Structure 1
């Protein structure tokens, strides 16, 4: 049995695993398990507005590619519980240049789904921020910075931001810590043209 603290690993996506993940419902299911904890196909179907047949099928596909696994300690009788295997995913931009057009298509779909999910997360926060206590409303952030940098300095800055966020993993609060919540951090770095 894998404990929660052992599941801190980040999975590097490769061509094979990307083909198994690059489907909107599979990505939603994986996020639901990563951020909401173990669940059954029926619970996930209800949460995502899908049929339990669809969620069952896609969970089995995610399991085949090593993204999810059984959580037998949760099951009662015939209930099959699932949990995420990894806490994070790492995308390699070389997948967008793969010689196989199927891999390139899966990489493109994956990135568009990530962008859609992050936009939805942010919009949900903006729409629901008044339902949160003041201390949470006061720490929310939607900053935007524009710097003129070459690619190598952009990569360095992104790596430093990721390292800073990772350094806070040692300070994560226990599940039962009062006032502690899951906090989502999105980082986006991309060039823009101003003409």
Structure 2
């Protein structure tokens, strides 16, 4: 019998049961609103909340937040927390799913091009805000210096090479994702990974 004790233990894989949702035109129009996207982000990062709690955090009117929560629920992005809250105060949580969006499907569609623009702009704003929050917070002890902000501008690639690089980086993230059924360590914190890889048109002298 082979001895496997010397072999490295493979890192845990992401939850295979987690649904993957491809955003279509209808769901894109339902999500592409700055306030809705901020609300969904808070529910994903900080867990369930009521319209009152979200309104306080966002500086918005409770009635406005409640209306947008219903829109998110109608399009399947959030759901009511079963067994929590009351008829007057409902608790909402983000649906446990991974979302994908292929922007090329909507870029030349006049009916969805505006929604795509709003969606992508808000994604960029959220990306910036997360980095700004990280830099503004004080990190001490084992968390000091473990984050990474990397910027490489010395690469030249073909479309196929860039596509392969992006796919491999995403696969690495999946391999390091913790087991969703395991209890997190006492020193564990939520970790945000923002991956950006894109070409740039040359603007030098021709």
Q: Which stretch of structure 1 is more off in the superposition, 144-153 or 13-22?
A: 144-153
**1:134 aligned onto 2:145:** no
The structure having more radius of gyration, on CA atoms, is: 2
TM-score of the aligned structures, taking structure 2 as reference length:
0.83
Q: Which is richer in helix?
A: 1
TM alignment of 1:97-136, pairs within 5 A: 97-99=107-109, 101-128=110-137, 131-136=138-143
**1:178 aligned onto 2:186:** yes
Q: Which stretch of structure 1 is more off in the superposition, 35-44 or 6-15?
A: 6-15
Contact 2:30 2:71 (8 Å CA) reproduced: yes
Unaligned 5+ runs, structure 1: none
CA offset digits 1:44-75 (Å, max 9, x no partner): 11111111111100000001111011112221
TM-score of the aligned structures, taking structure 1 as reference length:
0.88
2:167 alignment counterpart: 159
Aligned length: 188
Structure 1 position 171, deviation (Å): 4.2
SS in 2 for 1:145: coil
Distance in 1 of aligned mates of 2:183 and 2:69: 25
CA offset digits 1:4-36 (Å, max 9, x no partner): x79833321111100000000000111111111
Q: Which stretch of structure 1 is more off in the superposition, 63-72 or 87-96?
A: 87-96
Structure 1 position 175, deviation (Å): 6.0
1:73 alignment counterpart: 83
User: Alpha carbon RMSD of aligned pairs, Å?
Assistant: 2.1
Question: Runs of 4 or more off by more than 4 Å in structure 1?
Answer: 171-176
Distance in 1 of aligned mates of 2:181 and 2:147: 18
**1:10 aligned onto 2:17:** no
Unaligned 5+ runs, structure 2: 1-14
